[in-house]
Amino acid sequence: MNKKSGTSKDAADKLVKGIRRKTRKQYSAEEKIRIVLAGLRGEESIAALCRREGISESLYYTWSKEFLEAGKQRLAGDTARQATSPEVKELRSESAALKGVVAELTLENRLLKKSMIGDGGYEA
Protein backbone atom coordinates (compact mmCIF):
# COMPACT_ATOMS: atom_id res chain seq x y z
CA MET A 1 0.00 0.00 0.00
CA ASN A 2 2.78 2.40 0.83
CA LYS A 3 4.33 2.03 -2.60
CA LYS A 4 1.07 2.88 -4.34
CA SER A 5 0.48 5.97 -2.22
CA GLY A 6 4.12 7.02 -2.70
CA THR A 7 3.97 6.70 -6.47
CA SER A 8 0.65 8.50 -6.71
CA LYS A 9 2.05 11.28 -4.54
CA ASP A 10 5.11 11.51 -6.80
CA ALA A 11 2.88 11.68 -9.86
CA ALA A 12 0.77 14.37 -8.23
CA ASP A 13 3.90 16.35 -7.33
CA LYS A 14 5.15 16.12 -10.90
CA LEU A 15 1.77 17.25 -12.19
CA VAL A 16 1.71 20.23 -9.81
CA LYS A 17 5.28 21.22 -10.76
CA GLY A 18 4.40 21.01 -14.45
CA ILE A 19 1.37 23.23 -13.96
CA ARG A 20 3.40 25.75 -11.97
CA ARG A 21 6.07 25.88 -14.68
CA LYS A 22 3.51 26.48 -17.40
CA THR A 23 1.61 29.12 -15.45
CA ARG A 24 4.67 30.90 -14.10
CA LYS A 25 4.62 34.64 -14.75
CA GLN A 26 7.03 35.92 -17.38
CA TYR A 27 8.33 39.38 -16.56
CA SER A 28 9.07 41.85 -19.32
CA ALA A 29 12.27 43.88 -19.34
CA GLU A 30 10.33 46.98 -18.29
CA GLU A 31 8.82 45.17 -15.30
CA LYS A 32 12.23 43.89 -14.21
CA ILE A 33 13.71 47.39 -14.48
CA ARG A 34 10.81 48.87 -12.52
CA ILE A 35 11.25 46.31 -9.73
CA VAL A 36 15.04 46.69 -9.57
CA LEU A 37 14.80 50.49 -9.50
CA ALA A 38 12.21 50.30 -6.72
CA GLY A 39 14.67 48.19 -4.74
CA LEU A 40 17.55 50.56 -5.44
CA ARG A 41 15.49 53.55 -4.24
CA GLY A 42 15.41 51.92 -0.80
CA GLU A 43 11.94 53.18 0.12
CA GLU A 44 11.03 49.70 1.35
CA SER A 45 13.02 46.61 2.22
CA ILE A 46 13.97 44.14 -0.51
CA ALA A 47 12.04 41.43 1.31
CA ALA A 48 8.86 43.54 1.36
CA LEU A 49 9.31 44.50 -2.30
CA CYS A 50 9.76 40.86 -3.30
CA ARG A 51 6.68 39.79 -1.31
CA ARG A 52 4.62 42.53 -2.92
CA GLU A 53 5.82 41.61 -6.46
CA GLY A 54 5.57 37.87 -5.84
CA ILE A 55 9.20 37.04 -6.59
CA SER A 56 11.99 35.47 -4.58
CA GLU A 57 14.80 37.59 -3.20
CA SER A 58 17.38 35.57 -5.14
CA LEU A 59 15.54 36.41 -8.38
CA TYR A 60 15.55 40.10 -7.44
CA TYR A 61 19.29 40.03 -6.77
CA THR A 62 19.91 38.22 -10.07
CA TRP A 63 17.99 40.91 -11.94
CA SER A 64 19.76 43.63 -9.99
CA LYS A 65 23.18 42.19 -10.84
CA GLU A 66 22.27 41.89 -14.55
CA PHE A 67 20.92 45.46 -14.55
CA LEU A 68 24.06 46.92 -12.99
CA GLU A 69 26.38 44.90 -15.25
CA ALA A 70 24.52 46.08 -18.35
CA GLY A 71 24.77 49.68 -17.16
CA LYS A 72 28.47 49.27 -16.48
CA GLN A 73 29.10 47.86 -19.96
CA ARG A 74 27.08 50.64 -21.57
CA LEU A 75 28.98 53.35 -19.69
CA ALA A 76 32.28 51.71 -20.63
CA GLY A 77 31.23 51.81 -24.28
CA ASP A 78 31.43 48.05 -24.78
CA THR A 79 28.22 47.85 -26.76
CA ALA A 80 28.43 47.86 -30.53
CA ARG A 81 25.62 49.65 -32.30
CA GLN A 82 23.98 47.78 -35.15
CA ALA A 83 24.15 49.58 -38.49
CA THR A 84 20.82 50.42 -40.08
CA SER A 85 19.95 49.36 -43.61
CA PRO A 86 20.32 52.87 -45.14
CA GLU A 87 23.73 53.20 -43.49
CA VAL A 88 24.86 49.87 -44.93
CA LYS A 89 23.68 50.85 -48.43
CA GLU A 90 25.45 54.20 -48.20
CA LEU A 91 28.69 52.59 -47.02
CA ARG A 92 28.55 50.01 -49.81
CA SER A 93 28.04 52.65 -52.49
CA GLU A 94 30.87 54.75 -51.03
CA SER A 95 33.12 51.67 -51.00
CA ALA A 96 32.29 50.92 -54.65
CA ALA A 97 33.05 54.53 -55.63
CA LEU A 98 36.38 54.45 -53.82
CA LYS A 99 37.30 51.13 -55.47
CA GLY A 100 36.57 52.72 -58.85
CA VAL A 101 38.82 55.68 -58.07
CA VAL A 102 41.62 53.35 -56.98
CA ALA A 103 41.24 51.31 -60.18
CA GLU A 104 41.40 54.45 -62.37
CA LEU A 105 44.47 55.79 -60.55
CA THR A 106 46.21 52.43 -60.77
CA LEU A 107 45.57 52.24 -64.52
CA GLU A 108 46.76 55.82 -65.01
CA ASN A 109 49.87 55.09 -62.94
CA ARG A 110 50.70 52.03 -65.07
CA LEU A 111 50.25 54.00 -68.29
CA LEU A 112 52.54 56.76 -67.05
CA LYS A 113 55.19 54.23 -66.03
CA LYS A 114 55.03 52.55 -69.46
CA SER A 115 55.33 55.92 -71.24
CA MET A 116 58.33 56.90 -69.08
CA ILE A 117 60.07 53.59 -69.78
CA GLY A 118 59.30 53.90 -73.49
CA ASP A 119 60.53 57.52 -73.70
CA GLY A 120 63.68 56.76 -71.75
CA GLY A 121 64.55 53.79 -73.98
CA TYR A 122 64.30 55.78 -77.25
CA GLU A 123 66.36 58.74 -76.10
CA ALA A 124 69.30 56.75 -74.78
Print the SS3 string covering 11-47. HHHHHHHHHHHHHCCCCCHHHHHHHHHHHHHCCCCHH
The pLDDT value given to residue 104: 95
For the chain, list residues with pLDDT below 70: 1-6, 78-81, 119-124
CA angle at 83 for the pair 78 and 85, rounded to the nearest 5°: 165
In the chain, domain spans: 1-80, 83-124
Q: What is the pTM of this model?
A: 0.48
pLDDT digits (tens, 9 = 90+) for 84-99: 888 888 999 999 999 9
